[in-house]
Structure 1
Amino acid sequence: MVHFTQHIAVEVEHMIFSLEKSLFEHIPEFKIGIVVYKNIVTGDSPNLLKGRLEYFQETVRTELDERPVDEYEGVREWREIFRKLGIDPKRYRPSHEALLKRISSGKDLPFIHSAADINNFFSLQYDMPVGIYDSRALTDYIKITRGQEEDAMEGLNGRLNNMEGKLAAIDSTGPFGSPIVDAGRTKTTMETTDAVQIFYLRPSLSVSEADQLLQASSSMFLQLHSGTARTYLLHRDVPEIDTHSE
């Protein structure tokens, strides 16, 4: 059974979303959420979103006085995922942990634009890596897999990132995202009208909880950006979805 929530009827270009099946040998409850947005309006973040982000950061700073970053459940889960996949979590931090580390050091998160800012908000709120990408830069399919020897991408961190052995989101052009860093070629801008958002879900979430999370987050995204959204959930029982067959 395909788990998705349709907010408004929307035609999704033919794409195939899939998870590398060998991932389930290491993490049986591994899950990925994908949200396809169309006809959105991206711009400066409204004061409401900026206020929520600022408040959330202050709340996190207060919590960090009593609970260090490595005691956050989502950080612990994703460090464990990395270890099970042979990725050193001390060398490569999950992106939500990097956000928490930045906040704990006293640095504020920069405001980029509405799509990127709400993406950071979701990552902090749900305690997991979340990436958002411009659909116009994606081709044919999205596969969540471990990178091969030849897989590399120019990252938003300004470096060429070797993705061999690391968990990565790949299309027919190559890797474009990961729970560690994303590529520059697929970044969203204020010109973005169609986007794909990937939630690197915590395995402890049930399928029902993951569905509810995707519905709630995409609804909030649409409140700020208009447009339409459709959500998809990949897991052990549904490792591949062909949107053309819906």
Structure 2
Amino acid sequence: MEDLHTTITKQANLEQAQLVTATFGFTNSKKDTAFWDTTLTPLLNEIEADLTLEQIRELPNITATKKAYKAVGLDAARHRPSSDSLLRRVVKGQGLYQINALVDVNNYLSLKLQLPIGSYDLAKIDGPISYQVAEEGAEYAGIGKGAINISHFPTLVDQQDAFGSPISDSTRAMIAPETTEAMLVVYAFGQSPAQLAAIEQTVKTVLQAAFNPEEITTEIIA
């Protein structure tokens, strides 16, 4: 597996932004029923019972993400962090869309960490990768959304174009049932070194339990 994670560079205009990445080989499936029963559904029930929409707005990781969005010229009320959108769906009792096993794990981690997370098919990425603010007028085909304007979005960009962001990912590098090598990216903002290390360990633990990959290679980009 090509170590694309080692080639991610962050541009200076994203000084508040951090990434925790994990690359791994795995066998995907339509649905891991055991993961839903033992891990994801209990978390959904806990969030729905314990959180309100008002409380979501005050969660430290949500407020830090929105602050970082404003710093790069985004309207944080219009462009919610994907973690914010997921939490709001659960609190409203709308549940989650079930896509495939890795997307379900991605959503679980986003809800647990309260941070935006994206998972990308390594076979569809043309490295090296940079993390940068998208230019005015930039757009891509968003998953389930058609063409979306990504002006000023923090974005992951390879040799072709932008493919991911903490707001909405593109269809180009999306995870499919046949995906066998993936990169999972936690989009963090304003975390301490200890917090980043804890995020890294949580990601490794959850991925190991869900897929038992031979190797998980992680990196913190701060």
Moved >6 Å (runs of 4+)? none
Which residue is equivalent to 2:72?
A: 85
Query: What's the C-alpha RMSD, in Å, of the aligned pairs?
Result: 1.9
Alignment of 1:1-246 (within 5 A): 12=3, 16-24=7-15, 27=16, 30-38=17-25, 40-51=26-37, 52-65=39-52, 68-149=55-136, 151-203=138-190, 205-227=191-213, 228-235=215-222
List per-residue Cα deviations over 1:23-73 (Å, max 9, x = no partner).
Answer: 22xx3xx311111112x1111332332122211111111122495321222
CA contact (8 A) 2:65 2:188 kept: no
CA contact (8 A) 1:148 1:164 kept: yes
Which residue is equivalent to 1:3?
A: none
CA contact (8 A) 1:14 1:140 kept: no
**Residues 212-221 or 91-100, more deviating:** 212-221
Which residue is equivalent to 1:7?
A: none
Calculate percent identity across the aligned residue pairs. Answer: 21
Q: Higher Cα Rg: structure 1 or 2?
A: 1
- Could you tell me the TM-score, scaled by structure 2's length? 0.91
Distance in 2 between the 1:13 and 1:32 partners? 14
CA contact (8 A) 2:13 2:133 kept: no
Unaligned segments of structure 1, at least 5 residues: 1-9, 236-246
Once the two structures are TM-superposed, the CA of residue 13 in structure 1 deviates from its matched residue by 5.5
List per-residue Cα deviations over 1:122-156 (Å, max 9, x = no partner).
Answer: 00000100000000000121211100135321010
Unaligned segments of structure 2, at least 5 residues: none
CA contact (8 A) 1:122 1:130 kept: yes
Distance in 2 between the 1:143 and 1:36 partners? 16
Given the superposition, is the C-alpha separation of residues 12 and 157 from structure 1 closer, same or farther in structure 2, using an over 3 Å criterion?
same
| Secondary structure of the structure 1 residue equivalent to 2:140 | strand
Given the superposition, is the C-alpha separation of residues 219 and 66 from structure 1 closer, same or farther in structure 2, using an over 3 Å criterion?
closer
Given the superposition, is the C-alpha separation of residues 14 and 75 from structure 1 closer, same or farther in structure 2, using an over 3 Å criterion?
closer
Distance in 1 between the 2:198 and 2:58 partners? 25
| Secondary structure of the structure 1 residue equivalent to 2:130 | strand
What is the identity, as a one-letter code, of the residue corresponding to 1:206? S
**Aligned residues between the structures:** 220
Distance in 2 between the 1:195 and 1:88 partners? 31
CA contact (8 A) 2:53 2:91 kept: no
Once the two structures are TM-superposed, the CA of residue 76 in structure 1 deviates from its matched residue by 1.1
- Could you tell me the TM-score, scaled by structure 1's length? 0.83
Distance in 2 between the 1:152 and 1:192 partners? 25
Distance in 2 between the 1:113 and 1:66 partners? 27
CA contact (8 A) 1:94 1:179 kept: yes
Distance in 2 between the 1:122 and 1:75 partners? 14
Given the superposition, is the C-alpha separation of residues 65 and 147 from structure 1 closer, same or farther in structure 2, using an over 3 Å criterion?
closer
Given the superposition, is the C-alpha separation of residues 193 and 56 from structure 1 closer, same or farther in structure 2, using an over 3 Å criterion?
same
